[in-house]
Structure 1
């Protein structure tokens, strides 16, 4: 059985404190077996001195609920670098044990001796996928399967799900001209019920079918995009007039946030960091959930901004910064140098202001301190980003170090939101910051094709293999096509692979280096204490 037939799902949900990993278990519907258990089986490579049995059976209680979903989050002790197979079991009506679903992952290693594989993808419009993403992932060579995956946002398109449910969506896929207006006229209770019905169906469809083959392999960290709420969230979109009304915004936001928390953020930490020994460090930064509307406003809280800036300045080895959207981006309020550029810039800025475009990171007030911290960083940095609906590979020399940005998106593109790669800005940052200026070298761009109106890029995702070499870390970057295969049946490359050497550089003595903190989670509440008590009891 799998999630498509059983409704049950296992998703390794990223690394947490004390060397543990998180495992999310969920089911759609209310009918649950009387007894369920998780079987945890170490795979090959288990150290001989490991003091755990060949497998463990752990009782499972789905004590948490969201619309049309029952779920839990387990934090499991694991051995660094060991691969595990997880399977969920229950007793059927006749008392026979039945496997409901399974998943596999590798515990976080404590060094790069055996390498480390990363997967990045974003923007999954499920109605256009038709199974292509799962097939492409299944066809990946084994040595490219991820140890950790970052889903960079727009794992669901809740605004287009609402649009598709109303009249007018046949004209432009995902867009109804009147649905949001009808929602705005409903009572709060009726509006909430309707949104919960539509939103939960969108999550159910994407999690149990399109995305599930990816989600059951490797550890996953989720970042939010705007479409987890609505286009250019939290700014009111021009396409949905009803969302200009505060009461509908509040109800919509609350319904969307509840499902995002249940599926993508059950541990409650939107931004976090982890390290592979003392060789490579990661920081994934949410720039959506706390973003404020308008230009020159914050994309996160002051504490999180301070954390990522301190992390950059304190690095003593190469680092990977994971973002929902590119850092190499245009500033919409830039004044052009000539009349043509000024007109083009004015039109672009006006379109964004009216809700017919997206604010970029450069449009926020916290872009400058983030870029300043990147400039101050002494170590080579690799940035992963998505959102813009094309793939691209860029490199620059910034203040004595190398910065590489890998952009990969979309996994399945919304047809009405196609785009083609941009080799802009030529100079970083596009929003001028005193004392910071770097020429950008665009090494690769993805394939795109012309439509009746505009262009659309081929669907894609990226993999990165980090391996230890004499002079530092070699990172092998590949961008794969979701829909095309080579002669061997593997996904074709969206652009030719590229290798980079990330060096450990001398640390500026003026920057205080702080150790990487273990990933933090929200306090464990009473229902979760009961679930963890069952785990401890089973282990004893």
Structure 2
């Protein structure tokens, strides 16, 4: 049976790492205690944190099943260093079986300087993923690349820029019952996160969302798909939108704007152009100004990471791109 546990290495800095762990499947029990251990390349223990049964959180606020997760942050790490993370369940009676490993992964902290990295600093960039026809190949290929130490293309961190799940794909009978809609979305996340576990547990990941994390052309409800027609029913739309937003916020941990800089050598700005749209703006003005201030304040090369192309022709009203939002686009 495939491992139903998820371990996702989220953002890193020079001294910190965010580790997301848990299960998105509905049929796993909550362990009484889980240990999260960080070791260095010499297998020396660096730090340990525990997650107790009462501390698990729900990734989807309106789903009461056993799906649960926890974000654990470690600090005091060294810059530009490789580490391993191991998640183990600790049993109440250690004489029978002290603990069993649930998942393991690797990551590299940001360097103090790109020059400190022997083979340079490599960033992976990915986009759309559809689990049904993948069979785990993407995760396996990525994990193989990461563990091949001599590869000059081994990514240290990665950006995944939207459509990590396709919640609006399929021609089966879509239930109109809100509970079943929520379960369907959560199940899609569970299957996609299982298929991509080789990528998620190796190297820090920054997620951005795009429309298929919600539905095609979100937040618009236009089109001939049976799913789109169902969204015209208020109870269906409300359950779908809220659960999809929980996935983006609590599982992918996407935010409107995130900025980090390596020394004064290279700066990154990640902007989610989908999840925070309104009818008039691509994102709230405050967040949009954060992007402009980042550009104006650059004193080194900057990389703007988006979930949509920046230099394209304006789309139509039924499939709006960044250019469609003329006021903010012109200001950019």
Does TM, scored on the shorter chain, surpass 0.5?
Answer: yes
Q: Given that residues 37 and 47 in structure 2 are in contact (C-alpha distance below 8 angstroms), is that contact kept between their aligned partners in structure 1?
A: yes
Name the CA distance, whole Å, in 2 between partners of 1:164 and 1:126.
16
Spell out the pairing of 1:448-527 with structure 2 (5 A cutoff). none
Confirm or deny that 1:88 pairs with 2:87: yes
Confirm or deny that 1:145 pairs with 2:157: no
Residue aligning to 1:484? none
Residue aligning to 1:219? 204
CA shift, 1:32, in A, is: 2.3
Q: Given that residues 237 and 243 in structure 1 are in contact (C-alpha distance below 8 angstroms), is that contact kept between their aligned partners in structure 2?
A: no
Q: Given that residues 35 and 90 in structure 2 are in contact (C-alpha distance below 8 angstroms), is that contact kept between their aligned partners in structure 1?
A: no
CA shift, 1:325, in A, is: 1.1
Query: How many residue pairs were aligned?
Result: 308
Name the CA distance, whole Å, in 2 between partners of 1:12 and 1:139.
17
Secondary structure of 2:97 counterpart? coil
Confirm or deny that 1:76 pairs with 2:43: no
Residue aligning to 1:123? 128
Q: Given that residues 20 and 69 in structure 2 are in contact (C-alpha distance below 8 angstroms), is that contact kept between their aligned partners in structure 1?
A: yes
Residue aligning to 1:527? none
Secondary structure of 1:60 counterpart? strand
Name the CA distance, whole Å, in 2 between partners of 1:8 and 1:200.
14
Residue aligning to 2:250? 262
Secondary structure of 1:40 counterpart? strand
Secondary structure of 2:168 counterpart? helix
Spell out the pairing of 1:188-227 with structure 2 (5 A cutoff). 191-208=177-194, 210-227=195-212
Q: Given that residues 230 and 237 in structure 1 are in contact (C-alpha distance below 8 angstroms), is that contact kept between their aligned partners in structure 2?
A: no
Name the CA distance, whole Å, in 2 between partners of 1:6 and 1:123.
23
Confirm or deny that 1:5 pairs with 2:2: yes
Secondary structure of 1:306 counterpart? helix
- Which of 1 and 2 has greater Rg? 1
Name the CA distance, whole Å, in 2 between partners of 1:277 and 1:126.
38
Secondary structure of 1:75 counterpart? strand
Residue aligning to 2:293? 310
Residue aligning to 2:330? 368
Residue aligning to 2:51? 60
CA shift, 1:33, in A, is: 2.5
Residue aligning to 2:271? 285
Name the CA distance, whole Å, in 2 between partners of 1:138 and 1:65.
28
CA shift, 1:90, in A, is: 1.5
Name the CA distance, whole Å, in 1 between partners of 2:144 and 2:78.
28
Q: Given that residues 249 and 255 in structure 2 are in contact (C-alpha distance below 8 angstroms), is that contact kept between their aligned partners in structure 1?
A: no
Name the CA distance, whole Å, in 2 between partners of 1:246 and 1:129.
34
Name the CA distance, whole Å, in 2 between partners of 1:198 and 1:237.
21
CA shift, 1:271, in A, is: 1.9
Q: Given that residues 118 and 146 in structure 1 are in contact (C-alpha distance below 8 angstroms), is that contact kept between their aligned partners in structure 2?
A: yes
Confirm or deny that 1:23 pairs with 2:19: yes
Name the CA distance, whole Å, in 2 between partners of 1:135 and 1:42.
23
Name the CA distance, whole Å, in 1 between partners of 2:244 and 2:330.
30
Which one of the candidate residues 94, 97, 100 is aligned to 2:99? Answer: 97
Residue aligning to 2:30? 32
Q: Given that residues 30 and 70 in structure 1 are in contact (C-alpha distance below 8 angstroms), is that contact kept between their aligned partners in structure 2?
A: no
Secondary structure of 1:156 counterpart? coil
Q: Given that residues 43 and 83 in structure 1 are in contact (C-alpha distance below 8 angstroms), is that contact kept between their aligned partners in structure 2?
A: yes
CA shift, 1:251, in A, is: 2.2
Residue aligning to 1:169? none
Name the CA distance, whole Å, in 1 between partners of 2:171 and 2:130.
12
Which one of the candidate residues 214, 238, 246 is aligned to 1:250? Answer: 238
Q: Given that residues 26 and 72 in structure 1 are in contact (C-alpha distance below 8 angstroms), is that contact kept between their aligned partners in structure 2?
A: yes
